Chain A
Amino acid sequence: MRSVTPTSSRTVTEINMAVTADHIRDKIIKELAAVHVDVEDTSPNRCAASFKVLVVSSQFEGKPLLQRHRMVNTCLAEELKEIHAFEQKTLTPEQWEKQKSQ
């Protein structure tokens, strides 16, 4: 007779860890063709997932700030349901180069 090892608790933990900095970074790169992404986990504690992101993408060219931010919000729609606080900076590659040289 074989005993069944309960794996449900471990699976639940893995699901809760889904919204991580890496996950966010990968999703942004994939969906917004970002050339550079910085994701900072600013969560003060485990209970309040907070992130600060810098996204550099040519898809932002010619788009006003609000539209750029909405693009990022749409990309992370599922994740944002779990995230408590979210800061974002959206730059075109040109703006980013200029910022770096300052």
Chain B
Amino acid sequence: MNSLIRSTARCLRAGAAVYLPRQADGRVLAASARLLCAAADLQKDLGNMVKKDKVVVFMKGTPAQPMCGFSNAVVQILRMHGVDDYAAYNVLEDQDLREGVKVFSNWPTIPQVYFNGEFVGGCDILLQMHQNGDLVEELKKLGIHSALLETEKESK
């Protein structure tokens, strides 16, 4: 299903080049130049997006309705630590974002997690950080008190 959507998007993009307005002398503005400008803008936007909030997640679907097992795992882990207030961007809504964030982070897959504008990793890394206690520490650095610390206190 995804490949069908992807190839449709590719066709539409390629088709757009055919309808470029011609200038007075008949020259056609290069579509590739415009696409490059849009891509560069996205990279700049991403730079702002990851710094705007303490915790930023690029995922498939939304925290209320994740559309992928790995994205869901990230949402569940954050929820376990009581982190409910974070910026989540759904890459399935925007194919340019989906590809652009991979370039921006130099990371091949989704989900992607950022803490204080710094790339943390994907689902694997977040899970390992959760298991070895690093996640509680990193959240503390962000000024976020992990909910799991509360349960530890209660059980003592």
Contacts and interface: CB of A to CB of B under 8 A. Distances in A.
A88 B2 CA distance: 23
B100 to A, nearest CB: 15
A15 interface: no
B119 A66 contact: yes
B8 interface: no
Contact of B121 (A47, A66, A81): A66
B17 to A, nearest CB: 23
Contacts of B109: 80, 85-86
A87 B125 CA distance: 10
B107 to A, nearest CB: 7
A85 B68 CA distance: 10
Nearest to A77: B108
Interface residues of A, number: 16
Interface in B53-99: 70
B129 interface: yes
A69 B121 contact: yes
Interface SS majority for chain A: mixed
A69 B106 CA distance: 11
A84 B110 CA distance: 10
A29 interface: no
A69 B124 contact: yes
B68 to A, nearest CB: 8
A88 B108 CA distance: 12
Contacts of A35: none
Contacts of B119: 66
Interface in A46-97: 47-48, 65-66, 69-70, 73, 80-81, 83-89
Interface string B3-24: 1000000000000000000000
Contacts of B121: 65-66, 69
Given A47-B3, A66-B119, A66-B120, A86 B108 contact: yes
Nearest to B132: A65
Interface string B107-143: 1110000000001111111001100000000000000
A65 B108 contact: no
Interface of A: 47-48, 65-66, 69-70, 73, 80-81, 83-89
Interface of B: 2-3, 70, 106-109, 119-125, 128-129
